[in-house]
Structure 1
Amino acid sequence: MIKRVFRLTLRAAQGFIDSIFALMDVPLRCPDYTSVSKRAKSVNVSFKTPTRGEISHLVIDSTGLKVFGEGEWKVKKHGKDRSRIWRKLHLTVDASRHEIICADLSLNNVTDAEASPGLIRQTHRKIRSVAADGAYDTQRCHDELPRKKISALIPPRKGAGFLPGEYAERNRAVANQRLSGSNARWKWTTDYNRQSIAETPMYRVKQLFDGSLA
């Protein structure tokens, strides 16, 4: 695991682990890298995730991963000097297990709403409800989810208008927003705040990739 996360050779991983033991004043040593290399061939660890059964609550979110260009701090401090290239990572998370169910990588100009149907199809499982942020508040999403008999927990965007047709749940959320001035009450009554569960897996992914694909 350490070798994969920090992108180390076996020799470097051995030294890294030994240095951690030394810092912690633990009288242990990492096995020799040649021994690890030989024994790794016989290790058979499966990280298989469940592929059957109902998902009671699925959370969808996305984040940007930089392919090329300057860092966020440099741009904020001194402005942008050169072009930056990004990709967008879309994730679905099982709220009850905090587990990433599927992922998709797209160009930066692909909207969250455009990517969502593909993510739903990738699960290959029955889903009771889906929570996502206001970026998914589009007619396409509100059509696609009920068609698959999935309850949608998507807050309307600020200043959103009513949709004509059979969008009762969504239009009630819009009416609530206009009445109270925000989506806070709607989020509380629908338990929408579970959507924040996606932040933890998203943080794990960004730590592994260091926010970059380079």
Structure 2
Amino acid sequence: MRDQIKKHNATQASMTKKIKNWSAYNRALIQRGNIAIWLSDNAIQQWQTAEKHGGRGRSNKYTDFSIETCLTLRSVFNLPLRALEGFVNSLLNLMDAPIHSPGYSCLCKRGKTLDVQY
């Protein structure tokens, strides 16, 4: 039994690639953590709405587009709603955008009314 285990481990060790350029390999590992997400100017303009619906209750501050964008990011990064709110706010701060993320309760309520396909 021990001979079989040793043979198996020996074949695994010979199958791995040997790294020759450590500096390039190190840069590639660091680059894996880089996330570059930017919203277009058109998306920023469509983020909030000023339209009144004319009925009872408060009008929606955020467009369906902004809610769908946030929920898509939630699906991609597997985030809870509160973490999603902070994540989107940090992206918007990096972009120096004059807008804010919808709150987690708004995302929850509006997400139920939208048909978002993941």
Greater radius of gyration (CA):
2
Name the TM tier (shorter chain). 0.3 to 0.5
Q: TM-score, normalised by structure 2?
A: 0.37
Give TM-score scaled by structure 1 length.
0.21
